[in-house]
Every structure is written in structure tokens, then in C-alpha cells.
Amino acid sequence: MICPDRTTILSATLTQLDATVNLVMHDIAATTEELWSRYDITADNLAAIIRWCDDHDLSRHVRLYFDDNRRSVFDLVLANLDIGAFAEVVIAAPVTSIGRSGYGTTDDLRAAAGLGVRVAAHGFSHMRVASYDLVGNLLATPLGGRYRDRSGAGRHDPMTENEALFQLVEAKEHFTELLGECTEFVLPHGCYNATTVALNQRFDLYTHLATTDPGLDTGQLLRPRFPVGADDTVETLAAAITAETSNP
């Protein structure tokens, strides 16, 4: 049970800090039986989160992300749920997902943009632009390399500088051509390192690089986001967000 006072304080604190909370969803399942990964949530659970935000004056402080360009965002979310009160709704799409079975098409993305949804780049082929070794240490990006799509590389096999640049540049060009502007790159799997940030600055590519690091969004380059998964409820989200506001 959430203490009503705590939620009231949360809305007031976000106003005071002029901060936004970014929530990340992946696939939305129609029923619990159709959940196929811990990163996915049911439509009922998403509806409960939306209701909680609306009822506690939080929606205007919350940006909803739907990562990976899954069909469910078009078929279950945009078609059925009222998300008009939120600060922003963003679909993060990898270029190579567009038009594949189970994913949004170019027409879907254009129609969503027409409804006020922003489309962000989520890599060219959803590959990590930075990697970790087997025990979780962040790896450096090897210099140079060929400017090419590294689709299919292993998760502990870091892409080179020019391969990372390919993901950043080709995605930006694709979405700029499709929708006129692309100011945000949602880092595939939330991975980045100093080279990722340096490449973005050197080539003046994106205003924001969206991570899955916890925290409040006060406009910084590395945009924090809270992933919402199958185990999350309104209570766990409230606790995670409140922890960040009490320790900003």
C-alpha cells in the first residue's frame, strides 16, 4: 500500500526540481500467459501505472518510453490507452526492426508521430555501442575499424570506434529523413562508455543519449530511465522513484 502523503510529496518534489521521471517499457502482453521475458509487462499492469500517474498528478512529470518498436505499442497502447496527460511518449526504434514481423512499419511510426508520439533512434541494428567483460567491467572501445554495421557481434565483443559511429550516424540519418528530426539516441541495452559520449559530441549528433541508469531527468545529456519489468508494480516504482528524489 502506498502512503498517499508520499505520492503527494513526490509530485511536489518533481515540480520543485523541475525534473522528469522516464519510465521504460518493452513488449506489452495482452495477458500474463503471453509474457515472455522479465522486461515485458501486461497491458493491465501498464494501465494501473498510467492510472496511478494520472490520479496523483504525476503524468505531467513522466515520460513514457516504449523501446524496440514492438507491435504492442501500436496495437495495445496507442489504440487502447489514454496517455495524453504524460509529459511525452517516445517510441525507440532500431532501424533494422522497421517492417519486420512483430514490429512497427514506416507507416506505423509516421502515424504515431502524427498522434504526438516522438520517435527516437535505438541504434541501426540494436547492437551495444559499448560492452562489458565477463565479470562486468566496462570495456574500452578499440580505435579505428571499418565503418560498417556489426550486427551479430557477441555481447562481450566490443565494437570499434567506427562501428559505434555507424550505429549513431546511420540511425540519425534514417529517422531525420523519415520524420524530420531526431535528437535522441536510446542506447541499446543501456550500454555506453566515454568513447560513445565523445563520438556524439565530436560529430554533434544527439542532444540526449538515453540510458537505463536510475535517476531524475533534469535535462542532462545522459538521460536516466527506470526500466519497468514483469515484477514491477505501482508500489515498486513508487519506491524506486522516491529513493531518487530523497537522494538527488
Least gap, CB of 55 to Zn ion (angstroms): 30
Give yes or no for a contact between 64 and 23, defined as CB atoms under 8 angstroms apart. yes
Nearer to Zn ion, 166 or 185 (CB): 185
Residues 6+ apart with CB under 8 A from 49: 23, 228, 234, 237
Least gap, CB of 90 to Zn ion (angstroms): 12
The whole-angstrom separation of Cα 211 and Cα 43 is 24
Least gap, CB of 243 to Zn ion (angstroms): 24
Nearer to Zn ion, 56 or 225 (CB): 225
Least gap, CB of 40 to Zn ion (angstroms): 12
Give yes or no for a contact between 236 and 221, defined as CB atoms under 8 angstroms apart. no
Nearer to Zn ion, 58 or 64 (CB): 64
> Under the criterion CB under 5 A, does residue 184 sit at the interface with Zn ion?
no
Residue type at 102 in one-letter notation = G
The whole-angstrom separation of Cα 170 and Cα 168 is 6
Side by side, which strands form the sheet with 208-210?
A: 222-223, 208-210, 184-186, 118-121, 88-93, 62-67, 21-25, 226-227
CA 50 to chain centre: 17
Least gap, CB of 28 to Zn ion (angstroms): 14
Nearer to Zn ion, 10 or 130 (CB): 130
For 157, which DSSP code? S
Nearer to Zn ion, 68 or 232 (CB): 68
Nearer to Zn ion, 8 or 151 (CB): 151
Least gap, CB of 169 to Zn ion (angstroms): 19
> What cell was used for 115?
498522434
45-74 mask for Zn ion (x: CB under 5 A)?
A: ----------------------xx------
> How many residues bind Zn ion, per CB under 5 A?
2
Binding site for Zn ion (CB under 5 A): 67-68
